[in-house]
């Protein structure tokens, strides 16, 4: 059955074998026959409360459903920042013919944090723009096409120092939370940009704010934020070298459709007793 919220099906949870959606600790406790929960989101940090992690219930995600639009959104932010597109928009608003020198992506280095679906999709697109592509992932021995070199978590400083754009597409896990702190932003080029399209919290917000305010880096493009919605009093809204979008990068009809397709395929597998796709390692967080 379908319901708009968990409260609408609370009385049916004791008999449920499968739940697609968000299930909190009390819902999990009530679902005594539950075998499998599917998250409509690709990132499952919101679903991994301690009770779920400890539970034998299988958790799957819609991982990969937003890879294409997230890669496109990241590339859009890279282009907008590199060419200072907000300046053109301000000039258009005042009917001012404002021509100025700007950058180009060809020849620049794109460093991607997280090499899952979105990271791999971005690597292909960045390479098509004649960019040099670097990657950073938990298991750097796992290679990805179009990525010249892969770095591990212990090589963050060297990775960011090489990058003209540091783009976060990774899941938020205990290991990735706060991965980019003051030392990382200090190591970035003063001409480099930070972009986040997956989850806020991977960068330390205080360090990022200082970096963009004091010119440690050239600017930032932020679609994902540590606190969402981004509070109205957040200084990120008004910084001239920051572009803020409201976690909107993957909000497409195709993203939703692909998530439904993953669930329907898994439901077919579940009924047949087959292996499920996108099973989450609940300890690792993705």
The string of pLDDT tens digits covering residues 112-149 is 999 999 999 999 999 999 999 999 999 999 999 999 99
Q: Which helix (H) or strand (E) covers residue 158, if one does?
A: helix 156-162
DSSP bridge partners of 220: 194, 242
Out of 73, 125, 199, 258, which one is annotated catalytic? 199
Between helix 67-82 and helix 253-272 the angle, nearest 10°, is: 150
Report d(CA 95, CA 211) in Å as an integer.
32
In the DSSP assignment, the letter for residue 166 is E
Mean pLDDT of 196-225: 98
Quick check: is 199 catalytic? Answer: yes
| Res 5 pLDDT > 80 | no
The CA distance from 199 to 233, in Å, is: 20
Active site residue 228: yes
CATH 3.40.50.720 location in the chain? 6-64+252-272, 67-244
When pLDDT is averaged across residues 95-111 and rounded to a whole number, the result is 98
Which residue in the list 228, 256, 277, 283 is annotated as catalytic?
A: 228
Q: Taking all residues of the chain, what is their mean pLDDT, rounded to a whole number?
A: 96
Burial class for 83, CB neighbours closer than 10 Å (0-12, 13-18, 19+): middle
In degrees rounded to 5, what are phi and psi of residue 126?
A: -65, -40
Q: Percent of the chain beyond pLDDT 70?
A: 99
Interval 251-278: pLDDT, tens: 999 999 999 999 999 999 999 999 999 9
Q: Assess whether pLDDT exceeds 90 at residue 53.
A: yes
Residue whose tokens read 């999709």 = 121
Q: Identify whether 17 is a catalytic site residue.
A: no
Global pTM value = 0.93
pLDDT of res. 171: 94
Which of 198, 197, 242 has its CA nearest to residue 220? 242
* Best CATH choice for the domain 67-244 from the list 3.40.50.720, 3.40.50.300, 1.10.1740.10, 3.40.630.30: 3.40.50.720
* Choice among 247, 256, 277, 283 that is catalytic: 247
Domain 6-64+252-272 has CATH 3.10.580.10: no
Quickly state the pLDDT bin for 180 (edges 50, 70, 90).
very high
Per-residue pLDDT at 110 exceeds 90: yes
3-state secondary structure 70-135: HHHHHHHHHHHHHCCHHHHHHHHHCCCCCCCCCCCCCCCEEEEECCCHHHHHHHHHHHHCCCEEEE
Average pLDDT over residues 72-84: 98
pLDDT value, residue 7: 73
């Amino acid at each position: 059955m379908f319901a708009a919220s968990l409260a609408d099906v609370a009385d049916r949870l004791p008999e449920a074998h499968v739940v697609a959606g968000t299930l909190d600790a009390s819902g999990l406790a009530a679902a005594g026959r539950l075998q499998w929960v599917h998250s409509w989101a690709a990132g499952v940090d919101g679903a991994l409360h301690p009770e779920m992690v400890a539970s034998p219930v299988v958790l799957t995600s819609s991982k990969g459903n937003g890879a294409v639009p997230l890669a496109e959104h990241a590339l859009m932010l890279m282009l907008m920042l590199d060419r200072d597109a907000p300046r053109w928009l301000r000039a258009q608003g005042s009917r001012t013919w404002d021509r100025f020198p700007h950058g180009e992506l060809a020849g620049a280095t794109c460093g991607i944090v997280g090499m899952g679906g979105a990271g791999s999709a971005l690597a292909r697109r960045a390479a098509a723009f004649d960019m040099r592509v670097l990657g950073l992932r938990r298991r750097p021995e796992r290679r990805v096409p179009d990525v010249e070199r892969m770095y591990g978590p212990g090589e963050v400083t060297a990775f960011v120092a090489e990058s003209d754009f540091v783009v976060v597409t990774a899941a938020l896990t205990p290991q990735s939370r706060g991965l980019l702190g003051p030392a990382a932003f200090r190591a970035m080029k003063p001409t480099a940009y930070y972009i986040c399209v997956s989850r806020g919290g991977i960068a330390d917000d205080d360090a990022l704010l200082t970096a963009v305010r004091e010119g440690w880096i050239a600017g930032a493009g932020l679609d994902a934020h540590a606190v969402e919605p981004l509070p109205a009093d957040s200084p990120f809204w008004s910084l001239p070298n920051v572009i803020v979008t409201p976690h909107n990068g993957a909000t497409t009809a195709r993203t939703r459709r692909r998530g439904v397709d993953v669930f329907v395929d898994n439901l077919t597998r579940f009924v047949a007793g087959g292996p499920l796709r996108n099973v989450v390692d609940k300890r690792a967080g993705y």
